């Protein structure tokens, strides 16, 4: 068997996974306009049930949390019912799936917001970024700064969404605090210029994220909660000036909460990393007190080497899982990989979504 280290079972908190080849969260923009997942999503996820663990596509916790056309939600009974059918199909196929909870903050557009309102953010700073609306990719809208009095409601939205995910039968949840979205915007000093108790010092800037984790922990035991972070890569115009200090403090706090895992986006496809950034990432990884999931455009050889050395516990693969629903088996047998069709990543129908071939279909 090729790449033996990737196929050793692992306990990720309370979830036992049969392999270390995890499916990363992948926005596909194929939900209904009201955030209800389409039925075909059940087939898409069930096809990929051989992943050690599936992390669902980013799923907004509220109507305000939406930032892209046709992304799913998890805050209404209809959302719960549709996701429940998807989860049941994954479980019937022998898989495990957690839901990624998402609020985009300023990475949105007025056309996507309730009553055409402004997106919300820690501070009224427009992102130099784009989002995806009916007309295609457009510049993000100018946000408004959240009032201090509104933040308890944001935390409650996370708690409510976590409860909805539990009602839908998921195996756990992942809190999305990465990629320049709302929680990351509060963490980073480039996007958070508040002067209240949620801005200024590192302690204040990580406050909202910790409050969200504790609220989700009211619904889920900590060993079924993960969190996704992007400490060192600029994403959606969001990067902290001292990521080692900021994320080091956050990881110290998270270490006391006994989470199932921490999921780092170490680098984005095509991005460059210098030795200084790699050193910061290593020192931050050393602070993680739970399972560590690496995500960074890994090849199978890199994944094998880093799991073998103990540098990571598991690796989350994104684009490779889009095009290869049976990715673990392809790794196990050193088979070739299908090439992803980037034109069908976002939006559309079945093409480029549920029609990629499996190994057995190629060799039958």
Q: Which residues are catalytic?
A: 181
In order, the DSSP letters of 1-50 are --SGGGGS-EEETTEEES-SEEEPP-----S-TTSPPPTHHHHHHHHTTT
Residue 251's nearest CA partner among 285, 282, 293, 296 is: 285
| Burial call 144-169: b when 16+ CB within 10 Å, e when fewer | ebbeeeebeebbebbbbbbbbbbbbb
Q: State how far the Cα of 44 lies from the Cα of 32, in Å rounded to an integer.
A: 15
Residue 350's nearest CA partner among 79, 38, 84, 55 is: 38
Residue 49's nearest CA partner among 19, 76, 28, 72 is: 19
Whether 2 and 331 have beta carbons less than 8 Å apart is answered as yes
Give phi and psi for 101, each to the nearest 5.
Answer: -95, 135
How many Cβ atoms sit within 10 Å of the Cβ of residue 81?
13
Give the residue ranges of DSSP H helices in 130-175.
151-167
Beta bridge partners of 295: 265
- Taking phi over 0 as left and psi of -120 to 50 as alpha, with beta for the rest, 352 belongs to left
Q: Give the relative orientation of helices 77-92 and 40-47 as an angle to the nearest 10 degrees.
A: 40
């Amino acid at each position: 068997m090729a790449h033996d280290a990737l196929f050793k079972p692992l306990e990720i908190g309370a979830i036992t996974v049969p392999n270390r080849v995890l499916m990363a969260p992948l926005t596909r923009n194929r939900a209904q306009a009201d955030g209800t997942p389409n039925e075909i999503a059940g087939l898409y996820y069930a096809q990929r049930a051989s992943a050690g663990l599936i992390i669902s596509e980013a799923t907004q916790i509220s109507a305000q949390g939406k930032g892209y056309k046709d992304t799913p939600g998890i805050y209404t009974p209809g959302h719960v019912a549709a996701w429940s059918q998807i989860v049941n199909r994954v479980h019937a196929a022998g898989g495990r799936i957690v839901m990624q909870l998402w609020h985009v903050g300023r990475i949105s557009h007025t056309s996507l917001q309730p009553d055409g309102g402004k997106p919300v953010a820690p501070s009224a700073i427009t992102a130099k970024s784009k989002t995806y609306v009916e007309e295609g990719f457009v510049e993000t809208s100018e946000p408004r700064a959240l009032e201090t009095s509104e933040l308890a409601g944001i935390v409650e939205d996370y708690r409510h969404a976590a409860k909805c995910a539990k009602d839908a039968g998921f195996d756990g949840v992942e809190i999305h605090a990465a990629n320049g979205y709302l929680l990351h915007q509060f963490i980073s000093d480039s996007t958070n210029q508040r002067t209240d108790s949620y801005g200024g010092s590192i302690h204040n800037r990580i406050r909202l994220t910790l409050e969200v984790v504790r609220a989700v922990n009211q619904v889920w035991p900590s060993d079924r909660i993960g969190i996704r972070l992007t400490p060192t890569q600029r994403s959606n115009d969001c990067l902290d000036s001292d990521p080692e200090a900021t994320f080091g403090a956050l990881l110290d706090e998270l270490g006391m909460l006994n989470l199932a895992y921490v999921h780092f986006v170490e680098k984005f496809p095509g991005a460059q990393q210098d030795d200084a950034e790699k050193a910061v990432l290593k020192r931050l990884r050393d602070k993680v007190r739970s399972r560590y999931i690496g995500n960074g455009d890994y090849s199978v050889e890199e994944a094998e080497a880093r799991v073998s050395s103990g540098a990571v516990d598991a690796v989350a693969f994104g684009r490779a899982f889009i095009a290869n629903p049976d990715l673990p088996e392809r790794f196990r047998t050193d088979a070739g990989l299908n090439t992803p069709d980037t034109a069908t990543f976002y939006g559309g129908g079945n093409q480029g979504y549920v029609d990629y071939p499996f190994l057995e279909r190629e060799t039958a």
